[in-house]
Amino acid sequence: MAKKRVTQATKAEIEAIRKLFLEHYPDSVTELNYRNLYELLVSVMLSAQCTDKRVNIITPALFEKYPDPAALARADLDEVKALIRTCSFFNNKAKNLIAMAQMVMEHYDGEIPLDEKELVKLPGVGQKTAHVVMIEYTGANLMAVDTHVFRVAHRLGLSKAPTVQGTEEDLVRKFQTDLHRLHQAMVLFGRYICKAVKPECDRCFLTEYCKTKESFKAR
Ligand code: SF4
């Protein structure tokens, strides 16, 4: 059977969606616990393919043992692995965390660079991680597409791009401003209302603009 095409939101719908997101999530911030830029970066790196809840369980002991890039740069790989082993992909993440800290010590005088172009040069830091850090720490007008933002964007007809990169470009082009706030709103909306398996459509404030709700009703 041919796959049903999802229609795209009109300009008026995009503006209405923006307004409702900003009204419902006026001052949203990440649910990751952190006290400084170093802790934020480490937490965001750990959160790839892992829940914020899990990361928040792991990081207190990690930050107690390695409170700054200098300590993490000297860390023993097996000890870092042991501390983050309940996180998905902990082997690679442990290697990347130590390599990131070593590069920060060698090239940035021990200070995490607060610049998107510099952040992505660090081991284990891709564009999405850099954007999330900049959004959270500086309120930069950037979009980052995680699994929640990707799903929500497609269900609302804000993008039909099959890739994360394409979805990010669509959201940037369509919203243009308030991207950091819209990012945080879409993450929380996707995490708690427009869930992957059983979206809570009966308490959704965007039902009018949803392009896919009919398929959920039928289940
Ligand atoms: S109506 Fe349901 S599927 Fe559509 S955006 Fe709202 S929660 Fe998501």
Give a yes or no: residue 174 inside a domain.
yes
**What pLDDT does 25 receive?**
95
Same domain, 200 and 180: yes
> Global pTM?
0.89
Of 114, 138, 162, the domain-final residue = 138
Q: What is the pLDDT of residues 85-120, one digit of tens each?
A: 999 999 999 999 999 999 999 999 999 999 999 999
Same domain, 112 and 177: no
CB 171 within 8 A of CB 179: yes
CA of 69 to the centre of ligand 1 (A): 42
**What pLDDT does 29 receive?**
87
Same domain, 190 and 207: yes
Q: What is each CA distance from 59 to 54, 79, 131, 161, 181, in whole angstroms?
A: 9, 14, 21, 34, 25
**What pLDDT does 215 receive?**
65
CATH of the domain at 208: 1.10.1670.10
CA of 188 to the centre of ligand 1 (A): 13
Same domain, 65 and 85: yes
CATH of the domain at 69: 1.10.340.30
Q: Which residue type occupies 59?
A: T
CA of 215 to the centre of ligand 1 (A): 10
CA of 208 to the centre of ligand 1 (A): 9
Same domain, 84 and 105: yes
Same domain, 101 and 87: yes
> Quick check: is 146 catalytic?
yes
Tokens of 92: 């690679």
Same domain, 200 and 134: no
CB 71 within 8 A of CB 102: no
pLDDT by residue, tens only, the chain of 219 residues: 445 567 899 999 999 999 999 999 998 889 999 999 999 999 999 999 899 999 999 999 999 999 999 999 999 999 999 999 999 999 999 999 999 999 999 999 999 999 999 999 999 999 999 999 999 999 999 999 999 999 999 999 999 999 999 999 999 999 999 999 999 999 999 999 999 999 999 999 999 999 987 666 544
Same domain, 55 and 124: yes
Give a yes or no: residue 6 inside a domain.
no
Check pocket membership of 207 for ligand 1, CB cut-off 6 A: yes
Check pocket membership of 155 for ligand 1, CB cut-off 6 A: yes
Check pocket membership of 20 for ligand 1, CB cut-off 6 A: no
Check pocket membership of 49 for ligand 1, CB cut-off 6 A: no
* Atom of ligand 1 minimally distant from the CA of 210: 4
Q: Residue 49, CB half-sphere, CA atoms under 13 Å: how many?
A: 7
One of 93, 146, 170, 174 is an active-site residue; which one? 146
> Quick check: is 115 catalytic?
no
Domain limits for position 52: 37-138
Check pocket membership of 151 for ligand 1, CB cut-off 6 A: no
Same domain, 88 and 119: yes
Same domain, 72 and 94: yes
Same domain, 86 and 175: no
**What pLDDT does 219 receive?**
47
Give a yes or no: residue 150 inside a domain.
yes
One of 93, 128, 174, 211 is an active-site residue; which one? 128
Of 111, 138, 165, the domain-final residue = 138
Give a yes or no: residue 4 inside a domain.
no
Give a yes or no: residue 162 inside a domain.
yes
Give a yes or no: residue 149 inside a domain.
yes
User: What's the total number of domains in the chain?
Assistant: 2
**Residues with Cβ < 8 Å from 72, sequence gap 6 or more?**
42, 66, 80, 97, 98, 100, 101
Of 97, 116, 138, the domain-final residue = 138
CA of 54 to the centre of ligand 1 (A): 26
Same domain, 86 and 169: no
Give a yes or no: residue 160 inside a domain.
yes
CB 151 within 8 A of CB 194: yes
Give a yes or no: residue 185 inside a domain.
yes
Q: Name the residue of 6, 213, 214, 219 to mutate for ligand 1: max ligand atoms within 8 A of Cβ.
A: 213
Check pocket membership of 158 for ligand 1, CB cut-off 6 A: no
